[in-house]
């Protein structure tokens, strides 16, 4: 067996050496590794097997667990869940399924790429956790993983004590999550909890408390389902680009940020990989991938400004560079080609793939135009452009958690994708009214919301969609640069190939649009009614200038 693996590895190495090097700016498919599952070992871990074959014991287990986890049989890896021991009694198909200190959420997604699930810590669990809000624990097992270049900053990666029954267990502190990664039955599994590695506050779950929860969760894991079968390598993505060349669509190279707009002056991530063949997230073209912090009306994200932002059209600039800006969100530059990457732009968030390990986790996207309330207005009105699902998948969104309330994920699980896509700044009241919550399945191209400016409160940021991409690795979900994935999707949307350009220049600008009075009334009547006394009340009038930017 070992000699065969060595021969395969040598053959792969020869193929890689013989393959021509990719040209700069050329779209590349992602690199993946396939899991080889030891289904017999997994079946042996199920109590009271009574001599049943591997297929029989999993079929029996799936039939019982499907009452709580529909489609569990679709998982191509053994499903590990925190199931109490009585539920593992293969003789009693009517036994109640219980989960000890945890309760399942409505999010459970099995499929060709493995499975993803989430649980909440029950109140009264007996664990000494004082955090007052719901605590979600994510669990995944992968049929294939994405191979990425290592993070640009060292991550905390240690071997926790007290887990002798889980060989190779690693504790990883990365991107504001504590993760416990291990391999069992040949399958990579990751348990993940969002936490704050710093001074404990009532608004943030400490990573020390998250460790306590994760340890209890890990010790509760048991085989709960899955269907034995051979592993399959994901097919290579079709990166064929349109023959027709667009007369308008131009874009700058991946990783080329606005001068000095990166964290501590660092550049971006020059990543030309297309991680999934997606539908573009806005319903219609044109659309413009642009920074909303270092472009006109932007706040330079805590890096300082020169000039006063006190009236529409007032000139100013960021202290970091000499780029001239104006205090006008409808400025033509914001709605024009070429596109510019702003993954890794200056932010406070952790991103291992960014230089310095800190930066913007995704891409800002502006819709076709800016609708103004009147000709004196300096900012765009929200909710005039549809946002759509980029792939078939399942929504992961729990609005009452401590994460940003306007966040929604679409998680995919297919023969080609083990990816999740995050949308931000849509109004959470609209998403609640439209049932954009965990467990909801969506189809590619389905409208899931409208572009907004919500960040903790309405008008808390500029009018744009924040879109980012995470792929599943041995360390769990990792943010990757979505820029070239979006370029490829936009080309399919417009049916024409874009042109990569070396320099930034404003061209083909879409003019702003003043909103007629009747549209103002229609927009106001379309908003869901406030739920509770403060649901609709802005927290601060400082939202006019964008208190925070993402």
Residue 240: exposure state from Cβ atoms within 10 A (0-12, 13-18, ≥19):
exposed
Q: How far is CA 426 from CA 190, 291, 345, 449, 454, in A?
A: 29, 18, 21, 7, 6
Q: 494 with 287: CB under 8 angstroms?
A: no
Task: Name every residue whose Cβ is closer than 8 Å to that of residue 37 and which is 6 or more positions away in sequence.
Answer: 76, 77, 78, 143, 185, 186, 187, 228, 231
Q: What is the pLDDT of residue 10?
A: 34
Structural domains of the chain, ranges and CATH numbers in brackets: 24-225 (no CATH), 249-291+338-511+518-545 (2.70.70.10)
| Tens digit of each residue's pLDDT, the chain (550 residues) | 333 343 333 333 333 333 344 555 689 999 999 999 999 999 999 987 888 999 999 999 999 999 999 999 999 999 999 998 754 444 555 568 899 999 999 999 999 999 999 999 988 777 878 788 889 999 999 999 999 987 766 567 788 888 888 989 999 998 889 999 999 999 999 999 999 887 767 778 899 999 999 999 999 999 999 999 998 889 999 999 999 999 999 999 999 999 999 998 899 999 999 999 999 999 999 999 999 999 999 999 999 999 999 899 999 999 999 999 999 999 999 999 999 999 999 999 999 999 989 999 999 999 999 999 999 999 999 999 999 999 999 999 986 654 556 799 999 999 999 999 999 999 988 998 999 999 999 999 999 999 999 988 888 899 999 999 999 999 999 999 999 999 999 999 999 999 999 877 655 556 677 766 666 565 655 555 444 433 333 333 333 444 444 5
3-state DSSP call for residue 53? coil
Residue 218, burial from CB neighbour count under 10 angstroms (0-12, 13-18, 19+): buried
Burial 243-270 (b: 16+ CB within 10 A, else e): eeebeebbbbbbbbbbebbbbeebbbbb
Give me the residues paired with residue 432 across strands. none
Percent residues over pLDDT 70 in the chain: 83
Strands (DSSP E) contained in 474-544 are 476-480, 497-500, 513-514
């Amino acid at each position: 067996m070992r000699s065969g693996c060595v021969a395969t590895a040598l053959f792969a190495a020869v193929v890689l050496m013989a393959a021509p090097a990719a040209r700069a700016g050329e779209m590349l498919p992602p690199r993946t590794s396939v899991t080889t599952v030891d289904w017999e070992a997994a079946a042996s871990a199920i109590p009271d097997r009574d001599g049943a074959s591997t297929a029989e014991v999993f079929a029996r287990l799936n039939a019982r667990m499907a009452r709580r986890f529909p489609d569990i049989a679709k998982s191509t890896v053994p499903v590990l869940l925190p199931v109490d021991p009585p539920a593992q009694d293969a003789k009693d198909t009517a036994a109640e399924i219980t989960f000890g200190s945890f309760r399942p959420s409505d999010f459970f997604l099995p499929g060709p790429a493995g499975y993803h699930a989430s649980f909440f810590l029950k109140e009264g669990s007996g664990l000494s956790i004082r955090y007052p809000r719901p605590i979600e624990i994510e669990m995944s097992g992968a049929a294939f993983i994405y191979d990425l270049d290592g993070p640009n900053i060292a991550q905390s990666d240690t071997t926790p004590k007290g887990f002798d029954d889980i060989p190779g267990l690693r504790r990883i502190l990365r991107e504001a999550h504590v993760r416990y990664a291990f391999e069992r039955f040949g399958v990579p599994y990751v348990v993940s909890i969002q936490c704050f590695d710093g001074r404990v506050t009532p608004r943030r779950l400490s990573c020390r408390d998250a460790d306590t929860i994760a340890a209890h969760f890990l010790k509760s894991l048991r085989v709960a389902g899955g269907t034995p079968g051979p592993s399959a390598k994901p097919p290579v993505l079709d990166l064929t680009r349109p023959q027709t060349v667009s007369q308008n669509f131009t874009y700058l190279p991946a990783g080329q940020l606005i001068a000095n707009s990166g964290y501590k002056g660092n550049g971006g991530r020059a990543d030309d990989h297309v991680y999934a063949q997606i539908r573009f997230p806005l319903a219609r073209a044109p659309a413009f991938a642009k920074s909303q912090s270092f472009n006109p009306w932007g706040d330079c994200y805590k890096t300082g400004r020169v000039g006063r932002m006190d009236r529409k059209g007032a000139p100013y600039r960021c202290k970091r560079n000499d780029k001239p800006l104006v205090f006008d969100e409808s400025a033509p530059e914001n709605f024009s080609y070429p596109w510019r990457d702003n993954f890794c732009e200056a932010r406070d968030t952790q991103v291992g793939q960014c230089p310095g390990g800190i930066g913007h986790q995704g891409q800002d996207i502006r819709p076709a135009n800016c609708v103004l309330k009147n000709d004196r207005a300096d900012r765009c009105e929200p909710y005039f452009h549809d946002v759509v699902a980029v792939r078939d998948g399942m929504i992961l969104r729990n609005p009452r958690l401590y994460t940003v309330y306007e966040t929604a994920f679409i998680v995919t699980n297919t023969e080609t994708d083990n990816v999740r896509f995050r949308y931000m700044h849509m109004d959470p009241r609209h998403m609640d009214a439209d049932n954009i919550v965990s467990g909801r399945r969506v189809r590619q191209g389905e409208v899931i919301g409208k572009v907004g400016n919500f960040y903790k409160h309405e008008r808390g940021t500029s009018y744009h969609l924040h879109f980012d991409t995470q792929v599943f690795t041995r360390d769990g979900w990792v943010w990757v640069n979505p820029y070239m994935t979006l370029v490829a999707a936009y080309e399919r949307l417009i049916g024409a190939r874009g042109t990569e350009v070396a320099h930034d220049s404003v061209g083909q600008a879409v003019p702003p649009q003043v909103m007629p009075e009747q549209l103002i009334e229609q927009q106001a009547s379309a908003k869901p009614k406030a739920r509770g006394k403060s649901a609709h009340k802005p927290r601060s009038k400082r939202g006019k200038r964008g208190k925070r930017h993402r």
